[in-house]
């Protein structure tokens, strides 16, 4: 089914009458974003390695007291490479090799901050409810092989790389976590941030594997702006997005893994709404492809046991604080989406709309303090 | 410009190839909603009085322990009638007369809960920054003529009517408020709820006229479900939407007045995101038409003084907790949008997605308590 309309924005582009297209696109996507030109080497690499490469620019007004702060941010969506029956280390190494090529392409495109998809080193095996061999993919944030692999690339390409992995926290008795590692462009680990909200829906049996994150809502000051990471299901929680904004994020990445039947009509809404409400850029990244597992499993929906997860529909995109957005990547193919953004737009939108100024956080702090009391009752007027 | 594409959903419907239309609409609007058939009398009235009439149904699964709770909710979008230079009482009476016809039509369509647009008895004169004659439109919630006018209709048609007006609070020294009056289907005033977030953007100089509302986030138990009202600019604040949800709302109305150049790409995103995040129905209502004022005013955007507000683009729609939505009303014409909704869908979506269960309000109560401290500093990792 996913192949019927390979890319919704492209489909609309190709089928609507050209004299009205500009207005239709304004209504659907906000102000028009320029397409970026990339060097031939980048395009050739994308073609040779069969991934989509798209880039757009979101400009801001010129200011008198601040220089433009133009950075290139990017997200990668990708299929797994080997069979899920292959040895864990082989599966991981094959994904590393694929991602290594796409990161090289990102470097050729001048990307400054790059985010990979959720649990990027592995298939999204939480549908199986099996602990082995999937827990073997978990590794240390600080010393794990994936961090070491990316540290070298981050330094080589002078690129901040966000690496969302299944974390094994050895110091706390081998607890598993769903964690994003922030690797600075110097190659150092700047920090980590965990998934705050864990789904229990459909094949997303993630609460079987890890608990709610305990790192709060940190924002990381990089050379290329203040960034944060809202992992996957956290995108359904506006208060989660809000806290990253309150802590000063200018760009929030949302590495995700979600499937068509469950969430696809929600996908263009939630991350974009977060960009609007919080006056920051959002880069929403979704896994792509259909993954099949060695043993059959059930999905809690009356269907017979089966071995395949639903289709991860990709469609990664970038949304801007002024409500504009890029088209999405393909619903079926690997891809690299690049956005050149002027971070000055964040404050310009704040100054214009005043959402932070009118936010009345004191009111909500007070009300929430009441709501969380065990014997609280809702305010219902009869 | 607004007339170029009179209705974006209809335009897409008419221009995309029919074999792909079903899939495109699923991606853009979620599950397909049935069109409602209305009695000939309703259709004739709409035709005679030149307003658009549209209706859709959003079904829910049949449950064993609860009967379906099917109600019809509706919103009205309308232009003002007379010139803004006419006497205030004439202007108001002319709008009353127009709305009286549309409410009659809603009754013929079996509507149970109806919401009018923001400050519905008047032009949206806050662009002028003049206090006279516009403050004359303000009236008492409890005893004002507009409340009396609607109480009679509410009782006659057995319909809950939400009446967003400019309120004059005489008991507190003639303070003006932006307030929605909830009139029960018995004709009694069930209560009132005020606009919590006041804009200071573009021609929306509303902080010149009234202050932030002090009624919190009440939910009103009616015979047709638990309802709340998030007035206009409050839709930009996810925490405002959230509090109505925490207090148990099943339907939240968002009576608004907003113009194309400022907010149109945001309009389909925000109310729909609120429906998704909070597992309730939302009915977003926007004023329609272009209003011209007696004296020229400036808009803080470098343009010369002028007398016309930008175009209010209508496009009222209903969004469901499962992410589906109705098409919008026209961008240029008066209209009545009706949605038949099974309120059981709210809990079904909560049970499926678990957003309330995974909300971690204790975390946010704690973090917000810190954020509102005057010397708080954001959590930034260097």
DSSP string, A221-244: EETTEEEEE--GGGGG-HHHHHHH
Instruction: Specify the pLDDT at position A134.
Output: 98
User: Which of A258, A299, A363, A374 should be substituted to probe chain B, the one whose Cβ sees the most B Cβ atoms within 10 Å?
Assistant: A363
A18 touches chain B (CB under 8 A): no
pLDDT of residue B261: 83
pLDDT at A5 over 80: yes
Measured between alpha carbons, how far is A24 from B265 in angstroms, rounded to an integer? 10
Q: Is residue A310 part of a domain?
A: yes
On whether the CB atoms of residues A335 and A52 are closer than 8 A, the answer is yes
CA angle, corner B319, sides to B313 and B320, nearest 5?
175
The answer to whether residue A126 scores a pLDDT higher than 80 is yes
Q: Is B264 on the interface with A (CB under 8 A)?
A: yes
Q: State residue A261's pLDDT score.
A: 84
Which range among A21-25, A58-62, A329-333, B343-347 shows the weakest confidence by mean pLDDT? A21-25
- The DSSP code for B19 is H
- State how beta strands A251-256 and A292-297 pair: unpaired
Buried b (16+ CB within 10 A) or exposed e, A303-325: eeeeeebbbbbbbbbbbbbbbbb
**pLDDT on residue B232:** 98
Chain B residues touching residue A354 (CB < 8 angstroms): 199-201
Q: What is the pLDDT of residues B15-60, one digit of tens each?
A: 999 899 999 999 999 999 999 999 999 999 999 999 999 999 999 9
Helix axes B18-29, A8-15, angle to 10 degrees: 130
Question: Which pLDDT belongs to residue A4?
Answer: 78
- Residues of chain B found within 8 Å of residue A184, distances taken between Cβ atoms: none
Asked if B23 contacts A1 with a C-beta cutoff of 8 angstroms, the reply is yes
Residue B26 in any domain: the answer is no
CA distance A5 to A315: 12
How far apart, in whole angstroms, are the C-alpha atoms of residue A180 and residue A120? 10
List strand residue ranges (DSSP E) for chain A, in order: 34-35, 52-58, 70-77, 113-115, 160-169, 175-183, 189-194, 219-222, 225-229, 251-256, 281-286, 288-289, 292-297, 306-308, 312-313, 317-319, 335-342, 380-381
| Angstrom distance (rounded) from CA A252 to CA A244 | 8
ipTM of the complex: 0.96
| Tokens read off for B117 | 């647009």
Residue B240 belongs to a domain: yes
SS3 B174: coil
Touching check for A111 and chain B: CB below 8 Å? no
Nearest CA in chain B to A269: B269
A104-132 residues labelled b (16+ CB within 10 A) or e (exposed): bbbbbbbbbbbbbbbbbbbbbbbbbeeee
CA distance B299 to B291: 14
Has residue A109 been placed in a domain? yes
Structure tokens at B235: 């839709």
Per-residue pLDDT reduced to its tens digit, A50-95 = 999 999 999 999 999 999 999 999 999 999 999 999 999 999 999 9
> Contact at 8 Å (CB) between B277 and B242?
yes
Give the pLDDT score at B216. 98
Instruction: Tell me, yes or no, if A323 comes closer than 8 A to chain B by beta carbon.
Output: yes
Backbone angles phi, psi at B110, to 5 degrees: 75, 25
Give percent of chain A above pLDDT 70. 99
Residue A69, pLDDT score: 98
- Pairwise CA distance, residues B54 & B337, whole Å: 5
Phi, psi of A136 (to 5 degrees): -65, -20
Check if A26 contacts B (Cβ < 8 Å). Answer: yes
Structure tokens of A200? Answer: 């229990």
Q: B18: burial class by Cβ within 10 Å (0-12, 13-18, 19+)? A: exposed
Digit-coded pLDDT (tens) for B299-329: 999 999 999 999 999 999 999 999 999 999 9
Per-residue pLDDT for B2 more than 90?
no
In a domain, A193, yes or no: yes
> Does the pLDDT value for residue B1 go beyond 70?
no
Give the 3-state secondary structure of residue B123: coil
Label residue A1 by pLDDT band (50, 70, 90).
very low
List of chain B residues whose C-beta atoms are within 8 Å of the C-beta of residue A189: none
How far is A135 from A168, CA to CA, in rounded Å? 9
Question: Is B5–A28 a contact, with Cβ atoms under 8 angstroms apart?
Answer: no
pLDDT 10s digits, A337-363: 999 999 999 999 999 999 999 999 999
Residue A269 lies in a domain: yes
Contact A323 B27 (CB under 8 A): no
Closest Cα in chain B, distance from residue A105 (Å): 28
Percent above pLDDT 90 for chain B: 97
User: What is the CATH classification number for the domain harbouring B317?
Assistant: 3.60.110.10
Give the percent of chain B with pLDDT over 70. 99
B377 found inside a domain: no
Q: Which residues of A are catalytically annotated?
A: 118, 195, 232
The pLDDT score that the predictor gives to residue B347 is 98
A281-286 and A317-319: which strand pairing?
antiparallel
Residue of B nearest to A227 (CA): B380
Cα separation, A166 vs A157, whole angstroms: 25
Please answer yes or no on whether B246 and A371 come within 8 Å at the CB atom: yes
Measured distance CA(A313)–CA(A315) in Å, rounded: 6
C-beta neighbour count of A301 within 10 angstroms: 9
Contact B225, B251 (CB under 8 A): yes
**Class of residue A59 by CB neighbours under 10 A (exposed 0-12, middle 13-18, buried 19+):** middle
The β-bridge relationship of strands A292-297 and A312-313 is unpaired
What are the pLDDT digits (tens) for B204-220? Answer: 999 999 999 999 999 99
Q: What DSSP string describes B224-281?
A: TEEEEE--GGGGG-HHHHHHHHHTT-SEEEEEE--BHHHHGGGHHHHHHHHHHHHTSE
Tell me the chain A residues in contact with residue B371 when contact means C-beta distances shorter than 8 Å. Answer: 246, 361, 365
CB contact under 8 A, B237 and A277: yes
pLDDT digits (tens, 9 = 90+) for A140-191: 999 999 999 999 999 999 999 999 999 999 999 999 999 999 999 999 999 9
A220 close to A204: Cβ distance less than 8 angstroms: no
Res A3 pLDDT > 60:
no
Q: Which of B58, B215, B277 to mutate to test the interface with A (most CBs of A within 10 A)?
A: B277
What domain range is A249 assigned to?
Answer: 34-344
Rounded mean pLDDT, A326-332: 97
Q: Average model confidence (pLDDT) for chain B?
A: 97
Average pLDDT value over all residues in chain A:
97
Cβ atoms B108, B41 nearer than 8 A: yes
| pLDDT bracket for residue A308 (50, 70, 90) | very high
Q: pLDDT tens digits, residue range B231-255? A: 999 999 999 999 999 999 999 999 9
In degrees and rounded to multiples of 5, residue B306 shows phi and psi of -150, 175
The total number of structural domains that make up chain A: 1
**Is A360 inside any structural domain?**
no
Q: What does the buried/exposed string (b/e) look like for A234-272 if buried means 16 or more CB atoms within 10 Å of the residue's CB?
A: bbbbbbbbbbbbbbbbbbbbbbbbbbbebbbbbbbbbbb
pLDDT (average), residues A203-224: 97
- Residue A312: per-residue pLDDT: 97
Residues A284-298 pLDDT 10s: 999 999 999 999 999
B170 is catalytic: no
Sequence-ordered alpha helix ranges (H) in A158-265 = 238-246, 260-263
- For residue A149, give the nearest of A138, A137, A163 by alpha carbon: A163
**C-alpha distance from residue A371 to each of A94, A365, B248, B279, B381 (Å):** 48, 10, 12, 18, 31
């Amino acid at each position: 089914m996913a192949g019927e309309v390979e890319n919704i924005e492209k489909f609309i582009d190709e089928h609507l009458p050209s004299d009205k297209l500009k207005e239709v696109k304004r209504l659907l996507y906000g102000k028009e974003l320029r397409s970026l030109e990339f060097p031939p080497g980048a395009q050739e690499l994308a073609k040779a390695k069969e991934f989509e490469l798209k880039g757009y620019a979101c400009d801001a007004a010129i200011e008198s007291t601040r220089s433009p702060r133009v950075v290139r941010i990017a997200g990668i969506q990708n299929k797994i490479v080997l069979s899920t029956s292959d040895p864990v280390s082989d599966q991981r190494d094959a994904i590393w090799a694929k991602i290594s090529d796409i990161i090289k392409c990102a470097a050729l495109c001048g990307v400054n901050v790059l985010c990979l998809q959720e649990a990027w080193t592995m298939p999204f095996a939480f549908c199986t409810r099996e602990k082995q061999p999937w827990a073997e993919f978990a590794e240390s944030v600080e010393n794990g092989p994936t961090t070491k692999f990316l540290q070298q690339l981050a330094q080589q390409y002078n690129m901040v790389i966000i690496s969302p992995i299944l974390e094994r926290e050895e110091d706390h008795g081998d607890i598993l976590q769903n964690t994003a590692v922030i690797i600075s462009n110097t190659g150092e680990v700047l920090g980590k941030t965990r998934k705050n909200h864990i789904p229990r829906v459909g094949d997303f049996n993630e609460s079987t594997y890890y608990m709610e994150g305990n790192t709060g809502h940190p924002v990381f000051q990089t050379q290329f702006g203040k960034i944060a990471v809202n992992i996957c299901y956290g995108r359904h929680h506006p208060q989660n997005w809000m806290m990253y904004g309150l802590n000063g994020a200018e760009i929030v990445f949302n590495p995700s893994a979600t499937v068509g039947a469950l969430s696809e009509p929600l996908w263009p809404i939630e991350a974009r709404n977060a960009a609007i409400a919080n006056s920051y850029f959002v880069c929403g990244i979704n896994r792509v492809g259909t993954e099949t597992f060695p043993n059959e499993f059930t999905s809690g929906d009356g269907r017979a046991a089966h071995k395949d997860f639903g289709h991860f529909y990709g469609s990664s995109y970038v949304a801007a604080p002024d409500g504009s957005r890029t088209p999405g990547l393909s619903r079926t193919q690997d891809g690299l989406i690049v956005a050149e953004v002027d971070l000055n737009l964040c404050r310009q939108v704040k100054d214009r709309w005043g959402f932070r100024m009118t936010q009345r956080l004191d009111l909500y702090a007070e009300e929430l303090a009441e709501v969380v009391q065990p014997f609280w009752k809702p305010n219902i007027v009869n």
